[in-house]
Amino acid sequence: MKAFWIKQIVPLFLIACVCSASVAQHIKPLADFPTQAITIISPFPPGGGNDSVSRLLAAELATIIGQPVVVENKGGAGGNLGTSQAARAKPDGYTLVMSQTSIIAVNPVMYSNAGFDPAVDFQPISQLTAAPVVFVVREQSPYRDLNDYLKDAQNRPGSINFATPGNGTLSHLTTMRLANNAGVKLTHVPYRGAGPAVTDLLGGQVDMVVTSPSSVEGLVSSGKLRVIAATNANLIGVFKSVPTLERLGIKNMEVVDWYGVFAPKATPPDRIEYLSRAIRQAMRSPAVIAKINQGGSEVVASEQKAFVKKVEQEIAEWKDVVRKSGIRAD
């Protein structure tokens, strides 16, 4: 009898456990939502960080809600084009947008007409990730840390440059803020994306690139690039030993680059709450966490109220930074 129990009952019990775990991945839908595919607008071309996070979320979210989740790339104007399209979408929960610090907090101040107002047009749903801004040089560079770079800039005003993924990006503003605080003059070399900037760094055409961890993770792992500083302590993977600005004696410069999901402002509250729960569950998947961590970011998966508060704080903070810098994107 004991042998029968082990051979017959235990396997059935294990199957039941597996099935229960599978069912637990789903979130019970509302009475009227979702009943069709959901679209996540990625306001950048395919292949970048925004697109990658969008697709990672979409695949996991589709399993949880039992409906297809489609990523639509709508790049242009530093993310403004796709974000504006999302702002004009029907507020029914079926159109979302993957946004980030530079789009929501910086672009409305940097551009004379961004095409949207984050406070008026959008409802934050969940912050997905957080990552520092990193300062990167070639392995052969004489700069062992960021202080070496700043000392050289002090000795040769205007002769030392830095490259970023573009004019008005978070990387650009962060470095200009750093230069102002340090009292040095740096030359900005803007590119159309992190890829071309990193290529020229490898070729020795620029002194330093300021960008996101995910843009350089592979080259840092292979030893071709070195990270000489990061804006905050959210450091994981190959970036774990990188000195923060604060550790280097540079105060009040903590900058966090995040990705988050937004819906049109008038989207019903019950649908916002449902989407927030589903998105948080998707981002807590071990596979998603591993992929995000590999790129040097950490998973946040914040509740909706916490994200609303964060967005309000970031908008106020970066509005002040942009106005003081005098930098314009158009």
Domains and CATH numbers, the chain: 11-131+257-325 (3.40.190.150), 134-239 (3.40.190.10)
pLDDT of the residue at 281: 97
| Arithmetic mean of pLDDT over the chain | 89
pLDDT of the residue at 210: 96
Instruction: Give dist(CA 209, CA 310) in Å, integer.
Output: 27
- SS3 state at 45: coil
3-state helix, strand, coil in the chain (%, to 5): 45, 20, 35
- In which band, very low, low, confident or very high, does the pLDDT at 5 lie, cut at 50, 70 and 90? very low
Pairwise pLDDT comparison (240 vs 284), residue with the higher score: 284
Instruction: Give dist(CA 75, CA 79) in Å, integer.
Output: 6
pTM equals 0.82
- In which band, very low, low, confident or very high, does the pLDDT at 192 lie, cut at 50, 70 and 90? confident
Please compute the mean of the pLDDT values over residues 67-78 and round it to a whole number. Answer: 92
Partnered with residue 18 across adjacent β-strands are: none
pLDDT of the residue at 311: 96
CA distances, 42 to each of 35, 124, 229 (Å):
22, 15, 29
CA distances, 116 to each of 60, 122, 269, 300, 323 (Å):
29, 9, 21, 26, 18
Is a pLDDT exceeding 80 seen at residue 9? no
- Decide: residue 43, CB within 10 A, 0-12 exposed, 13-18 middle, 19+ buried: buried
